[in-house]
A and B are shown apart, each in its own frame.
Chain A
């Protein structure tokens, strides 16, 4: 029985990992291509949640999940064109400071527009409740969430590995100078990557709004986990981030099963261990421009 309970936690952790993945993958992509540590990534997650609530007032839940990431993605275009672009070749500490500042500005902006009190968000009643598979309990809504994440993941993988766009991006990660020498401007690709990454964060926010507290600091809450996932997974590796996100979810679930008070600390211990034995992360590739 005890073993079954543990297994249930593992499966639940995998589901949770899928949600971390949505935030972490964008963060990883933006860093891999542009070399920018985007500390404002959490802000786009928060915007995603808030904007989806605004849209849901007019269109209902379903369309808001689609429209909010699109709207926030457009915001991402401005973010890339007017801010991020200036820092691709600059000292990384500068982009760190700028995006950190932006994260704070965004949080205060949300406070100004929507107030500091958390907003109420609900899902359609049909999604509420549990599904039982044998002895395993799942939240119906989270299974839906998992399906969305799997779809997004497959789309991103196909985009990166099966299209001309993906080939340029992957080449740009490894040898931007060579790509430039071949006469390809990386800039429009970078805009696309930022829009994609930011949009995924917004999708995460919109999807999680009904089951978590929608409040101004929600971005700061998620950014730490996303970073831990990216660091554990290793930069430049699609599957590294996937593996790390699932691992973090599972380790957290198992830890809470045995020692609940240590639940939140478990992912940092995991990061510590991974960095000790694999400083580049689980599946991190050697990226010349970062060495």
Chain B
């Protein structure tokens, strides 16, 4: 009984407060206006589930950029306020995105890692005719079949990931005439990665003798490992995501299968979690803390000072993405969707803390930038637990066009 009474009190008190707040808003329109002077950005990224660990880094990178921008006077003299929430799953992501635009006063949407969630947020953006900067989602179809003119994509698409690793594989003679067995994450991103990998194998004389789908919540890979052994491939290739990669890598080492592994997706946080001596093979990345560029080194140092740990690639990408957005708003002196789209489509250049600057390709809104393959340092060369990745040279090379590895128009058509 006591509990009931208490509950009644609380809700009544809350109602009173809400009423007071409403009255305040009515009585002092100036205050309301002052508040809306902030530029509000709706940020969604997975904080739970198999991509949750990456999402945590994403938030840290975004907050750091926000702080720096606001400290240096904000955008057009206005502070930016980023409202950040767990996107949970594609359906929830869409609901939250809609609410952020409709009720919370967000001018635009920002973030995401999960390709399936990014897809639903893109639909919300298009429906509301607002900008969505899709930061960490990599599925090709988002820039192809499912593209829309309100969305800009920062992370490298899966075709680039496959091509970045593919070039290294060709160099090592691991493609022509080789039999591949692949494991594919059973959601939009995995399917897309598998498609890109298949067309790469077909174009370069490799054959695919097995391709198995793996649910995103799989933690035990032993039945799949048995299937791989039964198939006796030359190379095992993985199109997995998030935690799956770590689980697979650990258990592959546990069973000690002899076939070389290549992977078309690995985030540094997942590689760090793989543990000593478990990881091998060649993998792609969009950024790595060892990158020898002054801007990047300064970012790593500042991040480590602030958070006491190394930034992961999702921390870097959210950081530069928010800076890109700030640059665009400052240049156009506006937060207007159409003006921002026009600015990005002008192929303006942005500093990505890499050797070369990047720009958004106008016909599919994909950021053109360098990518990197990495391998694993030989035993005994690693300094510390997070230092076992040997970072490769940028692809495309300095004398090649940035578009070299990206999907061509006829491969991945996008019509706005």
List A residues at the B interface (Cβ < 8 Å): 5, 8-9, 12-13, 15-16, 115-123, 125, 128-130, 137, 139, 141-142, 210-218, 221-222, 252-253, 256-257, 260-261, 263-264
Between B213, B229, B230, the greatest number of chain A beta carbons within 10 A of the residue's beta carbon is seen for: B230
When distances are taken between beta carbons in the complex, the residues of chain B under 8 Å from A128 are: 253-254, 256
Q: How far is the CB of B63 from chain A (nearest CB, A)?
A: 14
- Give the CA-CA distance A86 to B213 in the complex, in Å: 46
Provide 27 A-B residue pairs closer than 8 Å at the C-beta atoms, listed in order of the A residue: A116-B47, A116-B52, A117-B53, A117-B56, A117-B312, A118-B243, A118-B270, A123-B254, A129-B254, A137-B226, A210-B250, A210-B254, A210-B275, A211-B250, A211-B254, A212-B219, A212-B250, A217-B48, A217-B52, A218-B219, A253-B226, A256-B223, A256-B224, A256-B227, A260-B213, A260-B227, A263-B215
- Give the CA-CA distance A9 to B223 in the complex, in Å: 6
Contact of B275 among A9, A120, A264 (CB under 8 A): A120
| Contact call B385/A120, Cβ cutoff below 8 A | yes
Q: How far is the CB of B236 from chain A (nearest CB, A)?
A: 15
Which 3 interchain pairs have the tightest Cβ spacing?
Answer: A118-B273, A129-B256, A256-B223
Q: How far is the CB of A218 from chain B (nearest CB, A)?
A: 8
- Give the CA-CA distance A191 to B49 in the complex, in Å: 33
In the assembled complex, B277 has its CB within 8 A of some CB on chain A:
yes
When distances are taken between beta carbons in the complex, the residues of chain A under 8 Å from B47 are: 116
| Contact call B229/A120, Cβ cutoff below 8 A | no
Q: How far is the CB of B246 from chain A (nearest CB, A)?
A: 5
Report the interface size for chain B: residues with CB under 8 A from the other chain: 46
Contact of B220 among A16, A125, A210, A217 (CB under 8 A): A16
When distances are taken between beta carbons in the complex, the residues of chain A under 8 Å from B214 are: 260, 263
When distances are taken between beta carbons in the complex, the residues of chain A under 8 Å from B351 are: none
| Contact call A221/B217, Cβ cutoff below 8 A | yes
When distances are taken between beta carbons in the complex, the residues of chain A under 8 Å from B217 are: 221, 264
Q: Which residue of B lies closest to A215 (CB)?
A: B53
When distances are taken between beta carbons in the complex, the residues of chain B under 8 Å from A122 are: 275-278
When distances are taken between beta carbons in the complex, the residues of chain B under 8 Å from A257 are: 223, 226-227
Q: How far is the CB of B266 from chain A (nearest CB, A)?
A: 13
B267-290 CB mask vs A (1 if < 8 Å, else 0) is 001101111111000000000000
Q: Which residue of A lies closest to B211 (CB)?
A: A260
B240-262 CB mask vs A (1 if < 8 Å, else 0) is 00010011001101111100000
Contact of A263 among B218, B246, B269 (CB under 8 A): B218
When distances are taken between beta carbons in the complex, the residues of chain B under 8 Å from A13 are: 223
When distances are taken between beta carbons in the complex, the residues of chain A under 8 Å from B247 are: 212-213
